C-alpha cells in the first residue's frame, strides 16, 4: 500500500491500516450478541487515543459483566490500569520457574495502598509486584500446569 501526495509515492506503514481494524475487531467482539466464552486482546491500547481506550475498556467491562464472555487483555499502560478496579487486575510476572500469576487486589497489604493510589500508579511504583513467595496455602500455576479445578474442558 502506498500513499500518494503531490505525485510522490510513500510506503504506508503497516500500523496505519492495522490499528483501525484492530479497534473495529475489539468493538465487534465485545458487542457480539453470541460471543465466544473467552476473548483475548493483546495490548488493548496500542494505536488508540486515550478517549478511544476508555471506550474499549467500557465495552470490555460491559461484555464481561453480561456474564456471556470473559475478557482477558494484556497491557503495560498505567493509564489503562487506572480505568480498572484493582480486583480485576491479574499480574503476570517472570519467575524463576516460568510465569507467575497473582491477584494484587486480594493481598491484605494492598488494602491500605488502594485507598490512596489507583492501579496504574501502584504499577509504576512497583507496588503491585510480589516481593515474596506466595503466602501459605496460596498456589500459582506454572507453565503447562493446570489450575486447581482444571481448565474447564475436561470430560
- Condensed to tens digits (0 to 9), the pLDDT of residues 1-19 reads 444 455 555 444 444 446 6
Q: What is the mean pLDDT of residues 104-120?
A: 83
3-state secondary structure of 82: coil
CB count within 10 Å of CB 30 equals 22
Q: What is the mean pLDDT of residues 25-40?
A: 82
CB count within 10 Å of CB 53 equals 20
43 Cα distance to chain centroid: 7
Q: What is the mean pLDDT of residues 84-108?
A: 85
Place of cell 504506508: 12
Q: What is the pTM (predicted TM-score) of this model? A: 0.65
CB count within 10 Å of CB 90 equals 11
Q: Per mean pLDDT, which range of 49-53, 62-66, 100-104 is the poorest?
A: 100-104
Q: Per mean pLDDT, which range of 24-28, 111-115, 123-127 is the poorest?
A: 24-28
Q: What is the mean pLDDT of residues 72-97?
A: 89
Q: Are 57 and 83 in contact (CB under 8 A)?
A: yes
Contacts of the segment 84-92: beta carbons below 8 A, 24+ positions apart:
84/57, 84/119, 85/119, 86/110, 86/114, 86/119, 86/122, 89/119, 89/128, 91/128, 91/129, 91/130
Amino acid at each position: 500500500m502506498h500513499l500518494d501526495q503531490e505525485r510522490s509515492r510513500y510506503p504506508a506503514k503497516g500500523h496505519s491500516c492495522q490499528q483501525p481494524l484492530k479497534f473495529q475487531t475489539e468493538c465487534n467482539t465485545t458487542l457480539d450478541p453470541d460471543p465466544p466464552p473467552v476473548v483475548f486482546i493483546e495490548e488493548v491500547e496500542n494505536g488508540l487515543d486515550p478517549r478511544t481506550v476508555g471506550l474499549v475498556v467500557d465495552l470490555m467491562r460491559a461484555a464481561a459483566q453480561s456474564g456471556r464472555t470473559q475478557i482477558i487483555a494484556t497491557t503495560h499502560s498505567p493509564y489503562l490500569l487506572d480505568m480498572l478496579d484493582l480486583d480485576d487486575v491479574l499480574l503476570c510476572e517472570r519467575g524463576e520457574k516460568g510465569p507467575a500469576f497473582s491477584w494484587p487486589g486480594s493481598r491484605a497489604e494492598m488494602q491500605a495502598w488502594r485507598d490512596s493510589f489507583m492501579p496504574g500508579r501502584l504499577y509504576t511504583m512497583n507496588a503491585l509486584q510480589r516481593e515474596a513467595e506466595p503466602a501459605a496455602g496460596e498456589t500459582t500455576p506454572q507453565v503447562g500446569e493446570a489450575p486447581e479445578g482444571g481448565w474447564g474442558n475436561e470430560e
